[in-house]
Amino acid sequence: MRAGKLVLLFLAGGLFGMGLTVSGMTDPARVIGFLDIFGAWDPALLFVMAGAVGIYGMGMLILRRFAGVKLSSAAASPIDRQLVIGATIFGVGWGLGGFCPGPALANLGALQIEALLFVPTMAIGMLLAQRFFGADRE
Amino acid sequence: MQEIAICGLFDIRASSLQPSSRRLPMLHHYTLWHALVGGILIGLASLLATALSGKIPGISGVFGRLLVPATPDKAWRSVFLFGLIGGAALSFALWQSAALFRPMRPLLVMAIAGLLVGFGTRLGGGCTSGHGVCGVGMGAKDSIAATLIFMATAMLTVFIYNRVVL
């Protein structure tokens, strides 16, 4: 990949990290507040998702129609047992910690002890899934 | 403004104790606008990364594949993730509301959560960004199903944790 493209991908990553922090999603209390529907519910995560999904959906529509962008994995994978079990386990971990992968990585930028612990165990979990279940759908 | 940015960059903890008049005025108090604008930034970043890489830039997939020695396209993956950490560090330093971090769980629970998040996202083929933002944004049925499932189990987990453990 050309250097110019890599610089732009670095900037895209930077934009992603800023989006996560500005939206408050790097604060586990805000995420758990959203998940706590029977407690003091915090709707913020819904607004984050609405903004992100809306922009990405519209943008992809335009890119695919007018710029001819093709994805190597554009066809949706089947809803099989692996997907259901994987999503279930991810949800349990997300509810336990209030971290999903993006915010966990972002919090490395503040050297939060929670992130410094969470990211390595997350990497171990990923390696286990990839090693023993050949998990490589995208 | 530049001076504030620089001193904030190098001393995140100390700078958050400074009086708020020293910081950029707009982002001190969190509102749902922050959530929406932050979400739009995430959507734009994902869009840009998709156009440049030709892949769906879900964070769990980008990160997980970096751990596999045979992955051919490691360069853009690592650059994207370093950018993410750098962008986060920059906004932690600049904005008080972005730097807010309220620990919720003991460290042992965080370690177990990390294990489950890593395993589950790779087994299920995506996380909140790959399935939740990109997949749902494109109307992919598997991503919509995955997102509904992990939202539901996460809510159930919080419900149980709050009543059994806390």
Contact B107 A114 (CB under 8 A): yes
pLDDT at A68 (0 to 100): 75
**Residue A61: domain span:** 3-132
Spatial distance between the Cα atoms of B161 and A96, rounded to a whole number of angstroms? 7
| Cβ-nearest to B122 among A6, A11, A135 | A135
For residue A3, count other CB atoms closer than 10 A to its CB: 8
CB contact residues (below 8 A), chain A span 24-53, against chain B: 24-29, 32, 35-39, 43-45, 47-53
| pLDDT tens digit at each of 166 positions of chain B | 333 333 333 333 333 444 444 455 555 689 999 999 999 999 999 999 999 999 999 999 999 999 998 899 999 999 999 999 999 999 999 988 899 999 999 999 999 999 999 999 999 999 999 999 999 999 999 999 999 999 999 999 999 999 988 7
Domain count along chain A: 1
Q: What is the pLDDT of residues A43-92, one digit of tens each?
A: 999 999 999 999 999 999 999 888 777 776 555 678 999 999 999 999 99
For residue A26, count other CB atoms closer than 10 A to its CB: 30
Residue closest to A97 by CA, chosen among A27, A42, A48: A27
* A137 inside domain: no
Amino acid (1-letter code) at residue A58: M
Domain spans of chain B, in order of start: 1-101, 104-166
